Amino acid sequence: MRVYQGCLNRGDTIWNMRSNKKFRISRLGRVNVQNFEDLEKINSGDIAALFGIECYSGDTLVDQVLKKENLHMVCFFK
């Protein structure tokens, strides 16, 4: 996954906007070839792996603050 805004910490709770399910981040890490590095935190712009989260490619994962807002998607292609 990629963090677009803010940061994500191990132990944080996030919501999947498509399924409206809540998840706690138990493991967060970075994969590089054959190595895996456990991380405590990822910041905006970072790409990392989440484990134990039920999601599909393209899902939007948000924190509690953004869950209460309506997210509007803009299509750039027609």
Residue 24 lies in a domain: yes
- Amino acid (1-letter code) at residue 66: L
pLDDT at position 12 is 93
Q: Which domain holds residue 21?
A: 7-67
Assess if residue 38 is contained within a domain: yes
Kindly state whether residue 48 falls inside one of the protein's structural domains: yes
Specify the CATH number for the domain of residue 34. 2.40.30.10
Per-residue pLDDT of the chain (78 residues), as tens digits, is 899 888 999 999 998 888 889 999 999 999 888 899 999 999 999 999 988 888 898 888 888 755 555 655 556 666
Secondary structure (3-state) at 56: coil
Domain contains 20: yes
Please give the pLDDT value at position 17: 85
Q: Is residue 77 part of a domain?
A: no
CA distances from 63 to 26, 32, 43, 77 (A): 15, 27, 14, 28
What's the Rg (C-alpha) of the chain?
13
pLDDT, position 25: 93
Count of structural domains within the chain = 1
